[in-house]
Amino acid sequence: MKKAAVLGASGYTGRELQRLLARHDSLALHVFASAREGSPAEPPELESEPPVEALDWERVAQCDGVFLCTPHGTSAPLAQRCLELGKHVVDLSADFRFPDAAGYRAAYAHEHPCPALLPGAVYGLTERAREQLHGARLVANPGCYPTSILLPLQPLLEARLVDRERTIVCDSKSGVSGAGKTPSARTLFGNSHENFLAYGLGTHRHQPEIRLHAGTERLVFVPHLLPVFRGILSTIYLAPAAGVRAAALRDCLRESYTGERFVRVFERGLPELRGVQNTNECHIAVGECGELVVIVSVIDNLLKGASGQALQNMNLALGLPEAAGLA
């Protein structure tokens, strides 16, 4: 039995990992701790929640892998310390999603705390990076919106089935858990319930991440806030390459994801949030609308968009079965 630590345990993704690891038969939750130095152990607010321990580096040192469920800027120094201890690290924040400090600075408007680590990180879009993830020391878990968009988009761009001269439009909607546990005016029940809004138009930090990993600047991303707790639905509008029809794009995706446990490409019908909530799955459909191809992609932001994919990645990094704890 290998041992895992979850740092930043009190947040949404930390609690999700606790639930997943409880069902894992070869990776046990050994440390479930705050990521704040000197933070006292506090009783959980709900009796049903597991307690969060104070951070104890000696106990972290006993683990094989560490999940960092912390905000960007906070994760990188923690990752550095874990790597010095010889641990495998999966970081759920954006700290290692850009291969260079300039890209990170442009997106996050501050200097990267540990730029020397950037070239060694693997961008963990699991189905697309499996070879690099085996035994990986440092994994950058992709953002939730980027996961829902890049899973369908990367194979199509790679197969040259998309007209790169035309702009790809990614219209995404997320449940409020995507913003984490800290209350804000936007995510308060009174403001999100019975409401629906766009935000981050032209400024959202996931846009440069998606552009980078799609390999094109001709891509527009607009996020929206849904009045539900969990789930992302992305509608992607693109012009196919000359002479190519939607069926060819669908075939390409079906071929790319044949045999994949967590990615399903629909033959007909459209996916819904309900089909993926509380699962680690991504459901994709491809349709045609006039001259455009329209792709609908859904995931659970807390699972395939965060903790579920993080566990897939950690399993590969530690040499465990990829789907362990996720069935």
Ligand X SMILES: NC(=O)c1ccc[n+]([C@@H]2O[C@H](COP(=O)([O-])OP(=O)(O)OC[C@H]3O[C@@H](n4cnc5c(N)ncnc54)[C@H](OP(=O)(O)O)[C@@H]3O)[C@@H](O)[C@H]2O)c1
Report the interface residues with ligand X, using CB under 6 A. Answer: 8-14, 34-36, 69-72, 74, 92-93, 143-144, 177-178, 180-182, 301-302, 305-306
Are the CB atoms for 224 and 204 separated by under 8 Å? no
- Cβ-based neighbours of 45, under 8 Å, separated by 6 or more: none
Q: Is 273 exposed, middle or buried (0-12, 13-18, 19+ CB in 10 A)?
A: buried
Q: Quick one: 180 or 287, whose CB is closer to ligand X?
A: 180
Which residue is closest to ligand X by CB?
11
Q: Quick one: 140 or 317, whose CB is closer to ligand X?
A: 140
In whole angstroms, what is the distance from residue 131 CA to residue 110 CA?
Answer: 32
Are the CB atoms for 106 and 99 separated by under 8 Å? no
In this structure, the number of other CB atoms found within 10 A of the CB of residue 86 comes to 9
Q: Quick one: 161 or 176, whose CB is closer to ligand X?
A: 176
Going by C-alpha positions, the residue among 150, 72, 142, 141 that lies closest to residue 107 is 72
Three-state secondary-structure class, residue 65 = strand
Residue for token digits 């408007």?
109
- Of the candidates 144, 170, 252, 282, the residue annotated as catalytic is 144
Q: How far is the CB of 141 from ligand X (least distance, A)?
A: 7
Q: How far is the CB of 128 from ligand X (least distance, A)?
A: 17
Q: How far is the CB of 242 from ligand X (least distance, A)?
A: 36
Are the CB atoms for 14 and 43 separated by under 8 Å? no
Q: How far is the CB of 10 from ligand X (least distance, A)?
A: 4
Q: Quick one: 37 or 194, whose CB is closer to ligand X?
A: 37
Report which secondary-structure segment, H or E, holds 135. Answer: none
Q: Quick one: 39 or 132, whose CB is closer to ligand X?
A: 39
| Residues facing residue 283 across a β-bridge | 264, 298
| Residues facing residue 90 across a β-bridge | 67, 139
In whole angstroms, what is the distance from residue 143 CA to residue 214 CA?
Answer: 13
Report which secondary-structure segment, H or E, holds 115. Answer: none
In this structure, the number of other CB atoms found within 10 A of the CB of residue 51 comes to 12
Q: How far is the CB of 292 from ligand X (least distance, A)?
A: 28
Q: How far is the CB of 144 from ligand X (least distance, A)?
A: 4
144 given a catalytic annotation: yes
In whole angstroms, what is the distance from residue 175 CA to residue 302 CA?
Answer: 10
Going by C-alpha positions, the residue among 221, 201, 198 that lies closest to residue 209 is 221
Q: Quick one: 36 or 164, whose CB is closer to ligand X?
A: 36
Known catalytic residues are 144
